[in-house]
Amino acid sequence: MSDLVVSTAYGKVRGLRKDGVAQWRGIPYAEPPVGPLRFRPPRPPVPWSGERDATRFGAVAEQSRDPRSAMLSGFTDKIAMSEDCLVLNVLSPAADDARRPVLVWIHGGAFVMGSGSQPLYNGSSFVTRHDLVVVTFNYRLGLLGLLHLGDLAPADQGYRGNVTLLDQIAALRWVRENIAAFGGDPARVTVMGESAGAIAIGTLLGAPAAKGLFDRAILQSGASGLRPHDRADATAFARSVLAELGIGEERLADGLAGALADVPIERLIAVQERLLGTRGIGAFTPFVDGELLPRSPTDAVQDGQGVHVPTLIGSNRDEWTLFDVLLGPAALEASKAHLIDRLGDDAARIHAAYQAAYQRAIAAQTPAVGAARTRPPDTAAWIDLLGDVGLRVPALRLAEAQARHAPVWMYRFDWESPAFGGRFGATHALELPFVWNQLGLPIASFLLGPDAAGARELALQLHDAWAAFIRGGEPAAAGLPAWPRFEPPRRATMLIDRQSRVADDPDAEVRARWSEVAPAAP
């Protein structure tokens, strides 16, 4: 049992061994952000004496109790939620001095749901098959993580924006300070994330405060937005939230600490749900605050902020079909309205281009590419547009920016799921069971449908390729073609499918559609 007791900078933790993997769960990487610390930046943990029990997962961040959200997050059991959620989990072959490469996972969930302890993110296969150390963690979500109060409360109250990102930076600092005691190498840290997690990583690449905290990056279906919100946007959003909470402007001069600390969490989540209903699935995202993010993260990467960070990045061919199938027309309409609000006339123009592409395909009696082909052309165009504007095009832009300074590998996940009568296609999050080598979970069966067993070979290829990148800085696996770097103008991209292949600039038409709306940097 002694090899499971590890000394951290804040005290000793006692873990467990399960299926040959040493595990430590629920380790605090910051002080609980409760009471007067609500909405404020994370603080280092308070040191403890004796051995802290690290055999059970900590509470996940407060989020919706809606069963659809739980389904999207992959939860299958009742989840304990709390604002006291800033904890992480470590999996390792052993707490020794082997200095193994470290994988740090930032979970997705639209910045409003999910956790690092979801069964899908059990990193045991990375540990046993590839001799890696795996770290997962929770961070504040929704209003608790992204409500910007810095321009409304008095300056001496210490409010800042983007505390979601500050939580993530705190977790990465904890890894740098402590992972060697768990058998990991603090000089070989790969940060990996999907959806909101990938958006966070794309943003952290452009944040000076995160520089040096990770050495490689894997971004799955996400990057910093094409037109990120700024501080004025965030402040206007905060004013609308305070109005819904009944906290008037006259109370701001006296400070927000008491008023906001006392709002019941159930009320905050209810307001958050209403905002999601009116603004769409992407209602909560990081913003350029002029402090943590001095400017657009992709612009910062373009100028070398993410230099020396080899990057593996990509998207799924049919990103938005997941939300169309599971959330229905209301989610589509809300997301359309928010996009139109952000892009103005550009939204109608680019939607017309997408719709025309489908109409040309129909006239030529050839199927339109992607699972959206099962919808009417107007709807199909919106579905592909929403996936592209939120996920695929930002990934392309970040890849182009980062390729100037570091090795970049690009992929597109094209494996079509037969689930829901084929309406998923190669949908958002479908690659996750493959990457984590977790095809036996209920969430994998839900996403992959009846062909889950037939996906085994591809799952091992992806799992091994990702591990090769984490270990050696270049993705490769038996059964996959040689994977060249992504470099304009060729833009070599691995199309991951039942028979994977490399294609040059496969998203050329998408890039062309967006060239006027969101031009690439010169």
So which residues are the catalytic ones? 195, 319, 428
Helix axes 329-343, 345-363, angle to 10 degrees: 120
Q: Report the SS3 class of residue 198.
A: helix
- The 10 Å Cβ neighbour count of residue 409 is 25
Q: Report the SS3 class of residue 194.
A: strand
Residue 185: name the closest of 139, 135, 138, 219 by CA.
135
Structure tokens at 439: 């095809």
CA distance 85 to 91: 19
Place of tokens 């109409």: 359
Q: Report the SS3 class of residue 361.
A: helix
Distance of CA 152 to the CA centre of its chain: 28
Burial class (CB in 10 A: 0-12, 13-18, 19+), 193: buried
Pairing of strands 87-92, 311-316: unpaired
Instruction: Note the residue count of the chain.
Output: 522
Burial class (CB in 10 A: 0-12, 13-18, 19+), 363: exposed
| 132 Cβ neighbours under 8 A, 6+ residues apart | 100, 101, 102, 103, 123, 126, 467, 470, 471
Structure tokens at 125: 């296969």
Of the CA atoms within 13 Å of residue 243, those in its CB half-sphere come to 7
Burial class (CB in 10 A: 0-12, 13-18, 19+), 361: middle
What single DSSP character describes residue 219? E
Distance of CA 192 to the CA centre of its chain: 8
CA distance 351 to 358: 11
CA distance 398 to 408: 10
Cβ-contact 353, 377 below 8 angstroms: no
CA distance 24 to 408: 33
Q: Is the peptide bond before 489 cis (omega within 30 degrees of 0)?
A: yes
CA angle, corner 404, sides to 188 and 100, nearest 5?
10
Of the CA atoms within 13 Å of residue 264, those in its CB half-sphere come to 3
